[in-house]
Structure 1
Amino acid sequence: MKKHIKFTLILTGILLTRAYDAYCTALFTPDLKREANPLASVFHIQWGGLLLIIGCVLVYVGYALYINIYKKINLFPAQKQLSFGQFVVQALYGPGERWTAFLYKLPADKQKMHYVFGYILSYGLLWTGLVTTMMWLLINHTATYYTQYYSYKGIVSLVLGGVVGVAYYYFNQLYTAYKAIE
């Protein structure tokens, strides 16, 4: 697929699904009292702040997606015969880091970080948008049926599982290419 078409389709999908989620949320809970997003439910951020934060995230994701699609960066470590886990850590952080760096540290090489986040965050948000769009369609069109089975934990698990799946798929594709050149 041509780069500009891929970029446009992914970004459009993210923007449309996020807009639909915001629209349905506004209809469902205009005061955000029943909103599940932790920004609203835990930190009590209202619509203006919530939309500003989401907007900033979307601008960053668009920028990072642009980097990922148009500015190829070599993530392959110089060291050969790394395990998958070692490869992922070295691809992001360089030699000498442990897997626990994922828990508290951003990569020092910001271009590398933007490149990787461009894939993972954009496809992760696209997945999240598809899940929430399906959720809202089911709530809005099968109200009494779906709401019996709706589970916040289920939706969050589905979203997080999908994002982890996107990250695994991405790094597995890179690892396969890395192993092919050994």
Structure 2
Amino acid sequence: MKNYIIIISILLIFTVFLIIQRTYSIESNESAMTTSIQQQLEDDIEISSIEEYDISKSNSKIVLFEYGNKKGYAVFKVNYVNKKLKIIFVKSNILDKNINIIHTNRGNYILLSGNYNEKINYIVVNEGNTKHLFEVALINENFRNLYITLETIPRSLTDTMLNDVLVYNKDNKLVY
């Protein structure tokens, strides 16, 4: 009986290892990430530049890219075992208003993009009768429309709660 348990345990560990190897298959280099983004966009696009932004020492990173006259971003997760990546999602145009929750091993973060006329300093998310205020940081000066929360957000906040986010500038003036 003990031999069966040992054999089943070994097979289970081996299966998990194989699944991880297949799921995290993108090399952590610019060429592989660019190819992965191009495949996700299902377009014959030429990506001209790419920059990486690690999310608070977590297992996730944002990759900023340019193609044509557009700018976009992709979110990747990093596997610490084989140092390879898997793509979570791609946003092809940061000028379109978009809010995503990024789930990392260090907590959840809000990623906010859109065509705003001024710099954003914080956002307010409603959770029932509770209001959550989060400072945001501009990710990169060249990508002026992409912000991320500086601190983790409560796990209770969902994507649907982000539909009514209030966006403010440094003067507490409502931006959006």
Tell me which of the two structures has the higher relative contact order, counting C-alpha pairs closer than 8 angstroms and 6 or more residues apart: 1
Normalising by structure 1, report the TM-score: 0.21
Greater share of helix? 1
* Higher-strand-fraction structure: 2
Q: TM-score, normalised by structure 2?
A: 0.22
